[in-house]
Amino acid sequence: MKFLRRLAVLALLAVAALPLSVPANAAPTTASAQTAYAPSCPSNRLCVWSGSYFSGNRGSYLIPDNSCVNFITPPKYSAYNRQSQSITLSEGTCANPGRSFYIDPGEEVRAILPNGIRSASRCSLCRTADGK
């Protein structure tokens, strides 16, 4: 009986780990298809979407140097950096950024999970100090 109960729990965990659905506009995973697919985003902007794989509502932001922008309707789950500088994306707000990571110029991030992002900042002096 314990074995069957454990088996059932493991099966439920495996099913829960599967994605509920795949967005209709999900990008293909082959290298040639990835280069052919590009989300719509004005030049010199950071674009963020409310859903993964560039789905949902899109926001377009100019992130000036030495500044931080809180997204009006957080969180965001995909991003495309069309600016010429690297940008830091953070799970928290500008005042309390939490975990953060860089997105380089021209880089696309199709799925920012599990918490999404709530702010973006740019500091060219900070990147130089990090050696990146």
pLDDT tens readout for residues 29-66: 333 334 345 689 999 999 999 999 999 999 999 999 99
Q: If you average pLDDT over every residue of the chain, what do you get? A: 76
% of the chain residues with pLDDT over 90: 57
**Domains of the chain: which residue ranges?**
40-132
> In this structure, are residues 115 and 56 in contact, taking their beta carbons and an 8 Å threshold?
no
pLDDT in tens, 6-34: 544 444 444 344 443 334 333 333 333 34
Distance CA 8, CA 37 (A): 40
Q: Which tokens hold the place of 57?
A: 């509502």
> In this structure, are residues 27 and 53 in contact, taking their beta carbons and an 8 Å threshold?
yes
Point out which residues pair with 60 in neighbouring strands: 47
pLDDT higher than threshold 70 for residue 99: yes
pLDDT higher than threshold 80 for residue 129: no
Band of pLDDT at residue 125, cut at 50, 70 and 90:
confident
CATH of 40-132 among 2.60.20.10, 3.40.120.10, 3.40.1410.10, 3.30.360.10: 2.60.20.10
**Which residues are CB-neighbours of 124 under 8 A, at least 6 positions away?**
65, 66, 85
25: alpha, beta or left? (left if phi > 0; alpha if psi -120 to 50) = alpha
pLDDT higher than threshold 50 for residue 104: yes
